[in-house]
Amino acid sequence: EVQLVESGGGLVQPGGSLRLSCLASGFTFVRYAMSWVRQAPGKGLEWISSINSGGGPPSYEDSVKGRFTISRDNAKNTLYLQMNSLTPEDTAVYYCAKWNGALFGSYRDVYGLPRGQGTHVTVSS
């Protein structure tokens, strides 16, 4: 059974940083591409970033490009999202999601993928 457990969320001031983690189990993590998505209060899911199974050039949504960095440690079965220069607009529940293969597809397809329970990020002064 696929299990994805996100952690690292919390309350941070504007301009601050957080690093989210997603611990994966129940599947061979190294074989699958992964993504981060988020859901802001009262809004739908929004794709944030994707990374292939072996790393390589990731993909980012425009609003987080240059501020967020996705990475993975296949030895630890863990996906990360380093978030810098946070703004109140980044307030959301953040989820990691697992693709069905080694390469990620279109961001439009990410919403139906299995994901964890999420971790809350609140950016506020």
Q: What is the pLDDT of residues 74-112, one digit of tens each?
A: 999 999 999 999 999 999 999 999 999 999 988 889 989
Strand partners, 64: none
78 within 8 A of 60, measured Cβ to Cβ: no
CA dist 14 and 47 (Å) reads: 21
- Sign (positive or negative) of CA dihedral 51, 4, 18, 122: positive
Place of tokens 């607009």: 89
Summarize pLDDT for 48-84 with one digit per residue, the tens.
Answer: 999 999 878 999 999 999 999 999 999 999 999 999 9
pLDDT the model gives residue 54: 86
Among candidates 48, 39, 123, which has minimal Cα distance to 80? 48
What average pLDDT does the segment 22-39 reach? 97
Binned at pLDDT 50, 70 and 90, residue 25 comes out as very high
The β-bridge relationship of strands 10-12 and 119-123 is parallel
Please calculate the CA angle 59-94-67 and round it to the nearest 5 degrees.
45
Contacts of residue 64, Cβ cutoff 8 Å, sequence gap at least 6: 48, 49, 83, 90
What average pLDDT does the segment 2-10 reach? 97
